[in-house]
Structure 1
Amino acid sequence: MATQYENLNDTLTKFIAAQHLFFCATAGPGGRVNVSPKGMDSLRVLGPDRIIWRNLTGSGNETAGHLAQINRMTLMWCGFEKKPLILRVYGTARTLHPRDGDFDALNSEFPPSIAARQIYDVTIDMVQTSCGYAVPFMDYAGERDVLANWAEDKGPDGIAEYWETRNQTTIDNDPTFILSPVKG
């Protein structure tokens, strides 16, 4: 039932573009595996072997901390509509913070948001599809505006304070480098 590909083809790219939700999974060498749902028009396919996605400020910052330790990431989409499909993209990712040179150019691919925390520039190693026969049908009801409203209420200074107090380490207490570059 599963089929593997070296990179994305036009059919899979169209499937990704039609989805309102994807999941990101990362893990460090120890500690917890993190799987996070993502939405809010935060992903772009830039080519058959390249995806970027923008991470908005939130309660945790696991992905940045994990990638600083082990550079691997899995993205997953589920077809909740008529045709069942699960799509996984395996790869590595470069973490870009607002202080980094390429951040502004890649961030311009997305709608403006003061909550933009990182952009992950993903290089695809392998793509895999599977049937999705057990995935339920679900209807898309719309985007939530809670995060956008929260960020606007905080403003740039409040977001910076939130990064300092809530986003500098993972739940396993590993550094995320949100405020300073990786040393090495």
Structure 2
Amino acid sequence: MGKLFSEILPEHAAFIQKQRIFFVGSAPLDADGHVNLSPKGYDVLRILSPTEVAYLDLTGSGNETSAHVDENGRITLMFMAFEGPPMILRLYGRGRVVLPGTDEWEQMAGHFELLPGARQIIAVTLHAVKTSCGYSVPFYSYTGERDTLQKWAEVKGDDGLLAYHREKNAQSMDGVLTPIGRRLAERSDAAD
């Protein structure tokens, strides 16, 4: 059934690049904490090498992945075929959060079209790639991207997004501080 690989092979890369959506899984260390699963749309994922991927993370109502990755590094990305031959592909790795204004951001941001609301890059060093059948995944037809998130971010503007990050993105639902939250706290302390 499933096959395990140590890196992304060319046929895996071709499959990943055709997908219009992927899913990101993460969890805190606390056994009572919430496991998070987030869908990601838009053209935000880049394969940087056979063992490294990154995606541009846009502002959302939560920031669970960032908190979890910063706390423990564990992350899984999953892709599945909704058309053509069936397949599920998972990327297992250790992630890190790259914030705007850092040297690493300057190095990585050039790989992406910086969409409105871009808040961070999640970079992942892979330790395993696994494929499985996907025989039960139904067919779905892609009809287009929603522009709602980008329009929302444009209306918010920089000041509105900063306030939103402070209110909704500074910690996870379990109270785990995010890198954005830590940066906001440091700036607040420096201003006092």
Using the size of structure 1 for normalisation, the TM-score is 0.95
Counterparts in 2 of 1:14-163, with a 5 A limit? 14-30=14-30, 31-163=33-165
Structure 2 counterpart of 1:28, which letter?
A: P
How far off is 1:165 after superposition? 1.2
How far off is 1:69 after superposition? 1.5
Contact 1:22 1:76 in 2 (8 A): yes
The CA deviation string for residues 77-135 of structure 1, in whole angstroms up to 9 with x for no partner, is: 01011200000000001210113211133122122323111101110100000000000
Structure 1 counterpart of 2:167, which letter?
A: T
Structure 2 counterpart of 1:66, which letter?
A: H
CA distance in 2, matches of 1:149, 1:162: 15
CA distance in 2, matches of 1:35, 1:125: 20
Contact 1:114 1:156 in 2 (8 A): no
Structure 2 counterpart of 1:58, which letter?
A: G
Structure 1 counterpart of 2:16, which letter?
A: I
List alignment gaps of at least 5 residues for structure 1. none
Aligned residues: 183
How far off is 1:179 after superposition? 4.2
Structure 1 counterpart of 2:104, which letter?
A: D
CA distance in 2, matches of 1:114, 1:137: 31
List alignment gaps of at least 5 residues for structure 2. 187-192
The CA deviation string for residues 128-173 of structure 1, in whole angstroms up to 9 with x for no partner, is: 0000000000111100000000000011111111101111011111
Contact 2:170 2:182 in 1 (8 A): no
CA distance in 2, matches of 1:104, 1:151: 21
CA distance in 2, matches of 1:120, 1:3: 26
Contact 1:164 1:179 in 2 (8 A): yes
Let me know the Cα RMSD of the aligned residues: 1.4
CA distance in 1, matches of 2:104, 2:118: 14
Using the size of structure 2 for normalisation, the TM-score is 0.91
Structure 1 counterpart of 2:65, which letter?
A: T
Which structure features the higher share of helix residues? Answer: 2
Q: Which runs of 4+ in 1 moved over 2 A?
A: 179-183
